[in-house]
Structure 1
Amino acid sequence: MSSNQFIVASPPSDAISAIAFSPEPNSTRLAVASWDKNVYLYDLRDENGAVGEGKLLQKFEHRAPVLDVCFGANEDELYTAGLDWDVRRIDARTSSQTVLSSHRAGVKSVVYSREHRIVVSASWDSTLHVHRAGTDSTPAEIPLPSKPFSLSLSPTKLVVAMASRALHIYDLKSLAMITDQADVQPPAVNRVDIEPWQRRESSLKFMTRAVACMPDDAGYASSSIEGRVAVEWFDPSPESQARKYAFKCHRQTVDDVDVVYPVNALAFHPIYGTFASGGGDGVVALWDGIAKRRIRQYQKYPSSVAALSFSSNGKYLAIAVSPGFEDGKEDIGPGTVRIYVRELGESEARGKGTK
């Protein structure tokens, strides 16, 4: 069975920074963060229940470009991060926005752990803020050694990819515990020095662009601006660490010259544990990280792939496409920002050894 693809209606008017499917089973809600200072909430189902270009449910305006968005405890709760320095909670039912905390610089990433009911944001002020969801308790502020570029959660771990090829891995249970110690009202913060579970140096030689955790809690993949992806495991034993590897991807030969593109986005399939990569070359590829092989590569999209997200049931892959500096296009014209959704065939994302 081959995949079908459609373009989502009413896309943002400026570059897309993040895209996320609702974690609810079989949900077709999709949240999108954009440089046009808005967060968009779509439903891919029409009034008859058919999945297609869908409809824009709501648009939430911010004071500055929005750099990240994630769903919270349900599909009516969103968390956002952006260049207004704020971490916000959005209630889609009431359209209300609440500032959870304010950093001292732009906020690059925000993630929500359903297992531990905490929200973690990472800012270019080189700090993490850890918020206890659903309470007014003061966020805990954790200093970082350098500027964070990407965050990702597994059921038990938080991976923070930073400048200078630094990676910190935190135990989520420990992060949840420190939020219980604060009693001051936000937007104040409670500074906490907590040791990461592990400190690592990236296997990639150049700046990390994205990191994504494996759904089985075993490890993570990271990507760089220099057309490479690394696959690593959490287990610190020499046997597990010997399994880590990196490979080249998102490269094209143009006039006998090897042109290298940044790998902007990574996303793991929630069922099969394979992963997708999206690059500045406008290409999306599916990989089997265990078998160390590419499963398939899709046709080239019109411009740079900015973000990727699988639906919670693994049936759909959302692909955000925006012109980037690697395209030589700084001005984004009408119709150049698009969200494609692929309906995957039954075995399309299945790895070599997956049943």
Structure 2
Amino acid sequence: MSLVLPNSGAGGGSAATGQELINDITVQNGPEDTVTDLSFSPQQELLAAASWDHKVRIYEISPNGQTQGRALYQHDGPVFSAQWSKDGTKVVSGGADKQVKLFDLQTQQANQIGVHDAPVRSVRFVECGPTNMPVVVSGSWDKTLRYWDMRSPQPILTVTLPERVYAMDTSGKLLVAACAEKHISVIDLNNPQQVFKQVQSPLKWQTRSICCYPSGDGYAIGSIEGRCSIYFIDENQHSKFGFSFRCHRKTQNNINNVYAVNSIAFHPIYGTFSTAGSDGIFCFWDKDAKQKLKVFPQLPGPITATAFNRTGSIFAYAFGYDWAQGYMGNRPDFPTQIKLHPTNDDEIKQKKKR
């Protein structure tokens, strides 16, 4: 089912006034090129940022919101993904150099733990099987998922997918890889060696972003043409509660402009979520009420990555050039920044049913 969620008025969420981002804090000494991924530590206020400038930076956020660099390490090409381990001691990353790297926060050392035959699009720490064996999983444009035990250069498992991995996420025992040609491969990490369910994206156009619900029973998927879909793994649940909706679109002079949904992030406590797009706007949504909670003012460039911290009190977002307009749209002075937005319940918590 496809919905058009209202932008304002009853049930449509509050529109931007222009004041909402005034207190947002700029991360100092930010990346020199577009940010591809943001990830908060599950244990403390540390933020990892992956960038096209070949670097992964780790920032410490003090209680007053100010930031300082804590660590930095490099790949041999643009970095597309960087994520924290559950215990907050390590960061895993992957990128255009086909490498999977593991950075140890204590020793400040980065080591290659895996390699693909094509660029690595996404990496995650997961726990596999009934014993919850901790491993790293990487999804690549070589059409495979590979699992690494972090001590051996050979993957412990390789799963062949129907197409190149464009986005990937995990929550609990759920792992979802969104591939080219609208393929979505769902894996139950109790049986990580096989695809549990193969489906087609309900959206018409190419997948750009995916994010699993904190509850681990479904995911939200975003496409290049300003649409988002709410998907449940259980088919009965999906037929009742699944839906698609339009977002990140703007009509000017009778021309309907559509923008890619570059990033989706779920609030860890409330289960509400954000979408962020090439239009330079991010919005907060309540999937259960099918309601837009809040739309924020437009930023000076496309939003390329977002993340909530472990309590949901900070929403990090990065804007920069996302290549949606090709090389012609790039310019030397295009702004690249990471900002921290302190969330409040009025913006992100589910509204009481009337």
Equivalent residues of 1:117, 1:133 under 8 A apart: no
8 Å Cα contact 1:19/1:308 also seen in 2 = yes
**Distance in 1 between residues matched to 2:248 and 2:222, nearest whole Å:** 11
**Residues 169-208 of structure 1: pairs in structure 2 closer than 5 A:** 169-175=186-192, 194-208=193-207
Tell me what 1:216 maps to: 215
| Equivalent-residue separation in structure 2 for 1:139 and 1:98 (angstroms) | 18
Deviation at 1:92, TM superposition (A): 2.0
Select 2:137's aligned residue among 113, 120, 124. 120
Are the aligned partners of 1:3 and 1:344 in contact in 2 as well (CA < 8 Å)? no
Which residue in the other structure is 2:103 paired with?
90
Look up the match of 2:78. Answer: 65
Please report the TM-score for the alignment, with normalisation by the length of structure 2. 0.88
What's the secondary structure of 1:241's corresponding residue?
helix
- SS in structure 1 opposite 2:324? helix
Partners of 2:250 and 2:302 lie apart in 1 by 14
Contact 1:166 1:199 in 2 (8 A): yes
- The answer on whether the counterparts of 1:149 and 1:209 sit within 8 Å (CA) in structure 2 is yes
1:104 and 1:341 map into 2 onto residues whose CA distance is 36
2:92 alignment partner in structure 1: 79
Verify the 8 A CA contact 2:114 2:154 in the aligned structure 1: no
Gap regions ≥5 residues in structure 2: 1-19
Q: Identity of paired residues, percent? A: 29
C-alpha deviation, 1:197, in angstroms: 1.3
Partner of 2:235: 236
Tell me which moved more, 324-333 or 87-96. 324-333
TM-score by length of 1: 0.87
Q: Report the secondary structure of 1:20's partner residue.
A: strand
Tell me, yes or no, if the aligned pair for 1:126 and 1:147 is still in contact at 8 Å.
yes
In structure 1, what residue type is equivalent to 2:242?
K
Distance 1:57 1:120 in 2: 25
Residue by residue, what CA displacement relative to the aligned partner does 1:175-206 show, whole Å, maximum 9, x if unpaired? 2xxxxxxxxxxxxxxxxxx4311111111110
Q: Does 1:36 align with 2:35?
A: no
CA–CA distance in structure 2, aligned partners of residues 205 and 317 of structure 1: 29
Q: CA deviation at 1:335?
A: 7.0
Comparing 15-24 with 88-97, which one deviates more in the overlay? 88-97
Check 1:281–1:95 CA distance in 2 against 1; reply closer, same or farther (3 A cut): same
Q: Do the aligned residues in 1 keep the contact of 2:98 with 2:118 (CA within 8 Å)?
A: yes
Select 2:32's aligned residue among 1, 6, 13: 13
- Structure 1 gaps of 5+ residues are 176-193
* Residue 332 of structure 1, CA deviation: 5.1
Q: CA deviation at 1:132?
A: 2.6
SS at match of 1:348: helix
Using the alignment, how far apart are the partners of 1:279 and 1:342 within structure 2?
Answer: 16
SS of residue in 2 equivalent to 1:325: coil
Distance 1:353 1:143, change over 3 A: farther
CA distance in 1, matches of 2:300, 2:325: 10
Residue matched to 2:281: 283
What's the secondary structure of 1:326's corresponding residue?
coil
Distance in structure 1 (CA, Å) of the matches to 2:324 and 2:220: 23
Q: 1:12-43, CA deviations, whole angstroms, 9 ceiling, x for partnerless residues?
A: 0011111111111xx21000000100000001
1:264 corresponds to which residue? Answer: 262
Please tell me whether the aligned partners of residues 206 and 224 of structure 1 are also in contact (alpha carbons under 8 angstroms).
yes
Structure 1 contact 109–151 (Cα < 8 Å) conserved: yes
* Alignment equivalent of 2:182, drawn from 150, 157, 165: 165
Aligned to 2:170: 153
Per the TM alignment, residue 139 of structure 1 is displaced from its structure 2 partner at its CA by 2.9
Query: How many residues end up aligned between the 2 structures?
Result: 329
State the SS of the aligned residue for 1:205: coil
Change (3 A) 1:311 1:134: farther
